[in-house]
Structure 1
Amino acid sequence: MSDQNTIDGAFETLSEIQREAASWGDGAFMLLAGPGSGKTRVLTSRVARLFANEAAAKWRILALTFTTRAADEMRRRIEQLAPDAVERLYVGTFHAFACEILRQSGSHVGVQTDFKIYSNPGDRELLLSEALRVAKLDLGEPLSKAFPVLDGLRERLAGPDNCLRFFADPDRGTRFAAAYQAYVDHLDHENALDFPAILYMAHKLFTDFPLIAERYRRTYRYISLDEFQDTNLAQYAFLRALTGNLYKNLFVVADDDQVIYQWNGASPQRLQQFAKDYEPALLQMPTNYRCPGEVVEMANRLVTNNRLRTANKQPLLSGKAMPTAPDRVRILVFDEDSHEADGIAADIEARHGNAPSNIVIIARTKAILQATKGELGKRGIHAQLAQRRDSFASVPYQWLHTSLQVANRRSDEREFKNFVEVGNAMWGFDLDTSQLAARAKSTTGDLLRTWAKAAADLPLTPLGARIIPLLRSDLAEVLDYQKYLRAANATLSAAVPTLLEEYPSVDEDARAWKELYKEITGAVGRAAPLEAFLQELELRSKEPPLEAGVIPLLTIHASKGDEFDHVYLLGLAEDVIPSFQSKKQGDNSPQLEEERRNCFVAITRCMETLTLSRAKSYKGWTKAPSRFLAEMGI
């Protein structure tokens, strides 16, 4: 049997059509790959083969995808196949690559290397509030409602000076343009970017300084893009600015039946735009090796009701040989939504026991998932609702994070204030931010050294006596953040059992930090500067990884890219999926077609069994069965 960790071995495991795609060399190429068709194996095999064909060359390969998890998995697979080529590979998300560009060349557009990224909604709202106060402006609307507007402008690559055309009300447009300018000025003053500004500034860099884009084109001979159907306007414009009109070595993997991010600007029309701009060769890879044949047939029946699809799109083919079974696909019907939550928990207990493995519960809304989690808990079955966490939940790991932030920006009083306050809570200090800042200004100007010196003169807890000297020696005096992180995190991890009573989330943060450290050092390397580590950390969720025996509870969007033996899809009722809002747009609307694609994505996560459920009423309102059930042939 061939070794699948070698390039030749990996190619031997590919089907004929997979091998044809993985053998593609120069020129633009679009691979329409259905769910479970082995696209990641194709992508990684192709990249490894390109490196092997010219092992002594200097050019690099850029591979972009949409989640850090997908990027980490792709990098790991390529490194297995081509370990000697790791230095010639960049794998990451659009935003991570844009950060890399801005670290190297952002000073041309006013972005300094150690820029701070703000992704937390609360932090962004505070920044906007400060910006409006300084500029003496009144937006006239709640600040929480301002960001969908400001983010929408960024994603359309509209700046404060050219955004009025997007407002039907000129007065509102004028107010937002002024607020937008004040917000941008405030971020510039802080040398900071919010999440939407990362791509905006990278695009600006390439368009204002085309020679820089040309340099990247010469560096990256090949570009691969996974999940291309999720690309929004800003991401596609960034890609166009990077490649220009002549660069054609793009290998794009997409599936217009899995566009489920229209709210973020994704559109099936992006594939048509790519075909027009790059004139790619086209290959379809429709064989599904993941799902039972019954599910493949259901998926085909469902998605053919959509009109916004690539012309001549081939139906999914079943490539998984398994006997039919009467309970392979089930539909469970309950009287009320509370009965649905209880019934699903009872079904899982009866079929899979109290320690189920490789099961997932998927729903359109988090409310349904929360109710089901409660019923599972009553039966002693552990479940975790997957949701992005922008910050650490426990004080110990908040302190560890803020200590790195202050080490990176030693004169930043905003960062220092957070660090001092968290440190006071962690160590029982009563240090005053203003006094320490004044003391720092009268000496070296280094806020972290000033704090470390002050802390050394205070009574320390046993844990503080082990960790604070590490901060002083390895972070404040000599910046060896990797050494500090390893030692401080090991000390905190060992103390988790004693910290749990005071900080109930510290065990989750310890698991999250361990996973994040491994992922980030894999992405940027152990020799990466501290600013690169922190920027990568800001782009990633601080959600802890699942423990063994814990059932993930996922929204449909969160389930994309995953696969499980047993899938439970809940809430298949009108006004739930499809949602009430999509139904209001009409039966043939893009919104309702996206809901159908949501259902398509959800059912194609399964490898063994699929259980569908619905209730006859939700929140006391009678609901008809989802139209998607009939469309699937149920």
Structure 2
Amino acid sequence: MTEIPDQNQLLHSLTDVQQQAAQWDEGAMMLLAGPGSGKTRVLTSRIARLFNADPAGKWRILALTFTTRAADEMRHRVEQLVPDSVDRMFAGTFHSFACEVLRQSGSHIGVQTDFKIYSSPEDRLLLLSKALERANIDLDEPLERVFPILDGLRDRLASPDNCLRFFSDEDRGMRFAAAYEAYMQHLQAENALDFPAIIYMAYRLFTEFPAIAGRYRRTYRFTSLDEFQDTNQAQYAFVRSFTGDEYKNLFIVADDDQVIYQWNGASPQRLQQFVADYDPAVLQMPTNFRCPRDVVMMANGLVSHNLLRTPGKNPLEAGKIETPDAETVRILQFDSEDTEAAGIAADLSARHQHDPGEVAIIARTKKLLTKVQGELASLGIAAQIAQRRDSFASVPYQWLNGSLQVANRRADAREFEAFVESGNVLLGMALDAEELIAIALSGHGDFLRAWVSEAHPVDAPAIKAVEILRVELVERNDFRKFVRNLTDLFAQAEWALEETQPSFEEDQRAWKELFSDISGQVGRQAPLDTFLQELELRSKEPPIKDGVVPLLTIHGSKGNEFTHVYLIGLAEDVLPSFQSKKAGDRSPQMEEERRNCFVAITRCMSTLTLSYAARYNGWPKAPSRFLQEMGMA
């Protein structure tokens, strides 16, 4: 791990403009920070300086970003700089902060502290189906098509009572309004939230009870928002409901050249909205210390073709010291996507066989990455496609997670059924969930206690697992000790789970990182319901092991940097996509595709390899227009 200097060392190591940003105190500030410009160093240095300037202060700092990984990194850096003050900072995602708000005050709008979060599509579809059945509503549309509409309404902060304006067909609007109302009522009856409801309900809380928002404003004297350009309408409105018209201590870091979540409501115009609402000072950090000079010039040439940019924005400047005459950018041509995948794998093997973990392969679509992964495997090179995973893949960790879920909600039949099913597979039993529920309901009502009374496995490790659950969850309710003891048992050679359970090793690495990071955010004394809420917000994807080549979509590459980058599929209809071409050369969709390319090429620190093929899916494709705009064609 890179050594972090103390606060004074860090401040003196910053450039003049970085120091100017880190020294900002009161009032609104918009920092336009290009890729590789050192924004994380600035943010952490500023937070540390504010804490040190008032060590006895009772106020806190709110630091919001878009990924839990970025929030965890920021918290870790601040903890190294000012360890005594880190408890005065909340560093997390928008959804994590909204959950914290709802835990503390959500009862005012019917959200109780121990609410459950449903994030998987399967869980949400089941909830919707039950809600519509209970309300006797037939939408006459596949439920898979209903959720994008309901989610879109909540992203626009439209309630069931005022959503008809979004429908051109009044009858259809009435049906959806009724379905929307039924679904939200069902969530409340279950004391549950799905992912889009988190921001929506927190916004409702702040707007319906402004005194609560005022209390949070007094608690958090300073607020930092990273990757601000990615905020959608609901997230920005949530921030506005928190700050009101008086609170101005917002420090936002943004880059309108990196807006790549337009499908989720992000827009370059959000920066203009912030300027209109908060009248901030504006500071630019255009120097890129990450990429070779050639890549910086390519990025400038590319993005200069976009019109939706902040007026007066400076081009990127190259700040990296380079080896003279080093080859930094290459372009490779192939006949088809299959020969492209094989050629990229062979090229990586030849050039980076001793440092494959320093290389990343980026593509517009996962399909291209899957082909490359197969070709790398044939050459004996391990590669992993980075993608969000909403649940654990192995039975042992499904059962561990299920144990915690049932311990938290001991009369939840659906959670209990999944727990019993995974327990039967892992522990070699054949218990019936319905029979156990009947036993529990005839007496104490505790499903978990009923399971323990009937669980009698034969194998020694399974017997030990049941005993750990009985002692730590049923009798003591010490979930942290349960987790420690059970994961230690999982790792014992006697059980040999790594050899017998697919995906066990991946889940083992994922759980270790998740447990540590969540404990760091919510505190090691946080109750089980808080831990599980945070767990549901996070991907269960395992961290990539050393020496493994990460394969990323452009969206997945955001916020990362790699020594060597391959960007593949630079062909018309691929990057830019067919949909953006159909929308038009000057359309917002085409500008977003250009920003996608901008983000991808600026992930590299030493070399960039671009590639394209003459045919994809059997159809001839021209080289991407972006190659010409970057000066590569």
TM-score interval, smaller chain:
over 0.9
Shift in alpha-carbon separation, 1:495–1:152, aligned structure 2, 3 A: farther
Per-residue CA deviation, residues 261-305 of structure 1 (Å, 9 max, x unaligned), is: 000000000000000000000000000000000000000000000
Range moving further from structure 2, 215-224 or 521-530: 521-530
The question of whether the paired residues in 2 share the 8 Å contact of 1:71 and 1:91 is answered with yes
One-letter code aligned to 1:553: L
Per-residue CA deviation, residues 340-368 of structure 1 (Å, 9 max, x unaligned), is: 00000000011011651310000000010
Per-residue CA deviation, residues 64-92 of structure 1 (Å, 9 max, x unaligned), is: 00000000001001111110101111000
Q: Tell whether 2:519 aligns with 1:540.
A: no
Between the aligned partners of 2:127 and 2:607, the Cα distance in structure 1 is 48
Q: Tell whether 2:623 aligns with 1:608.
A: no
Between the aligned partners of 2:491 and 2:11, the Cα distance in structure 1 is 42
Counterpart among 607, 620, 627 of residue 625 in structure 2 = 627
Equivalent residue number for residue 596 of structure 2? 598
One-letter code aligned to 1:601: V
Between the aligned partners of 2:297 and 2:245, the Cα distance in structure 1 is 41
Post-superposition offset of 1:496: 9.1
Equivalent residue number for residue 194 of structure 1? 194
Equivalent residue number for residue 110 of structure 1? 110
Between the aligned partners of 2:494 and 2:296, the Cα distance in structure 1 is 46
* 3-state SS in 1 of match to 2:420: helix
**TM-score, normalised to structure 2's length?**
0.98
Post-superposition offset of 1:500: 3.5
Post-superposition offset of 1:489: 1.1
Shift in alpha-carbon separation, 1:183–1:406, aligned structure 2, 3 A: same
Work out the number of aligned pairs and report it: 630
* 3-state SS in 1 of match to 2:356: coil
Range moving further from structure 2, 424-433 or 303-312: 424-433
Q: How does 1:342-353 map onto structure 2 within 5 Å?
A: 342-353=342-353
The question of whether the paired residues in 2 share the 8 Å contact of 1:354 and 1:380 is answered with no
Equivalent residue number for residue 368 of structure 1? 368
Between the aligned partners of 2:216 and 2:326, the Cα distance in structure 1 is 55
Q: How does 1:37-436 map onto structure 2 within 5 Å?
A: 37-325=37-325, 327-353=327-353, 356-436=356-436
The question of whether the paired residues in 1 share the 8 Å contact of 2:357 and 2:550 is answered with no
* 3-state SS in 1 of match to 2:55: coil
Range moving further from structure 2, 358-367 or 317-326: 317-326
The question of whether the paired residues in 2 share the 8 Å contact of 1:4 and 1:13 is answered with no
Per-residue CA deviation, residues 105-160 of structure 1 (Å, 9 max, x unaligned), is: 11111011111100001111111111112222211111111111111011001121
Between the aligned partners of 2:221 and 2:326, the Cα distance in structure 1 is 51
Equivalent residue number for residue 479 of structure 2? 481
Between the aligned partners of 1:19 and 1:172, the Cα distance in structure 2 is 56
Post-superposition offset of 1:416: 1.4
Post-superposition offset of 1:433: 1.9
The question of whether the paired residues in 1 share the 8 Å contact of 2:584 and 2:590 is answered with yes
**TM-score, normalised to structure 1's length?**
0.98
Q: Tell whether 2:462 aligns with 1:464.
A: yes
* 3-state SS in 2 of match to 1:573: coil
Between the aligned partners of 2:327 and 2:66, the Cα distance in structure 1 is 35
The question of whether the paired residues in 2 share the 8 Å contact of 1:354 and 1:381 is answered with no
Post-superposition offset of 1:480: 0.7
Q: Which runs of 5+ in 1 are unaligned?
A: none
One-letter code aligned to 2:304: T
Between the aligned partners of 2:372 and 2:431, the Cα distance in structure 1 is 45
- Structure 1's consecutive aligned runs of 4 or more residues displaced over 4 angstroms after TM superposition are none
One-letter code aligned to 2:122: G
The question of whether the paired residues in 1 share the 8 Å contact of 2:436 and 2:447 is answered with yes
Equivalent residue number for residue 509 of structure 1? 507
Between the aligned partners of 1:324 and 1:373, the Cα distance in structure 2 is 34
Between the aligned partners of 1:346 and 1:241, the Cα distance in structure 2 is 53
The question of whether the paired residues in 2 share the 8 Å contact of 1:44 and 1:74 is answered with yes
Q: How does 1:523-562 map onto structure 2 within 5 Å?
A: 523-562=521-560
Post-superposition offset of 1:325: 3.3
One-letter code aligned to 1:377: A
The question of whether the paired residues in 1 share the 8 Å contact of 2:115 and 2:529 is answered with yes
The question of whether the paired residues in 2 share the 8 Å contact of 1:496 and 1:506 is answered with no
Post-superposition offset of 1:4: 4.7
Range moving further from structure 2, 197-206 or 321-330: 321-330
* 3-state SS in 2 of match to 1:296: helix
* 3-state SS in 2 of match to 1:335: strand
The question of whether the paired residues in 1 share the 8 Å contact of 2:329 and 2:607 is answered with yes
Between the aligned partners of 2:164 and 2:233, the Cα distance in structure 1 is 19
The question of whether the paired residues in 1 share the 8 Å contact of 2:461 and 2:495 is answered with no
Per-residue CA deviation, residues 412-442 of structure 1 (Å, 9 max, x unaligned), is: 2222122122212222222222222222223
Between the aligned partners of 1:354 and 1:382, the Cα distance in structure 2 is 13
Post-superposition offset of 1:98: 0.4
Between the aligned partners of 2:527 and 2:9, the Cα distance in structure 1 is 37
Per-residue CA deviation, residues 299-345 of structure 1 (Å, 9 max, x unaligned), is: 00000000000001000000001034363100000011100000000
One-letter code aligned to 1:312: G
* 3-state SS in 1 of match to 2:357: coil
Q: Which runs of 5+ in 2 are unaligned?
A: none
Equivalent residue number for residue 563 of structure 2? 565
Between the aligned partners of 1:459 and 1:48, the Cα distance in structure 2 is 53
Per-residue CA deviation, residues 377-398 of structure 1 (Å, 9 max, x unaligned), is: 1000110001110000111110
Range moving further from structure 2, 255-264 or 345-354: 345-354
Per-residue CA deviation, residues 550-597 of structure 1 (Å, 9 max, x unaligned), is: 000000000000000000000000000000000111110000000000
Between the aligned partners of 1:547 and 1:154, the Cα distance in structure 2 is 38
* 3-state SS in 1 of match to 2:458: coil
The question of whether the paired residues in 2 share the 8 Å contact of 1:36 and 1:290 is answered with yes
Between the aligned partners of 1:334 and 1:325, the Cα distance in structure 2 is 27
Per-residue CA deviation, residues 457-477 of structure 1 (Å, 9 max, x unaligned), is: x23322112211111111111
Between the aligned partners of 1:534 and 1:359, the Cα distance in structure 2 is 34
Post-superposition offset of 1:479: 0.9
The question of whether the paired residues in 1 share the 8 Å contact of 2:364 and 2:569 is answered with yes
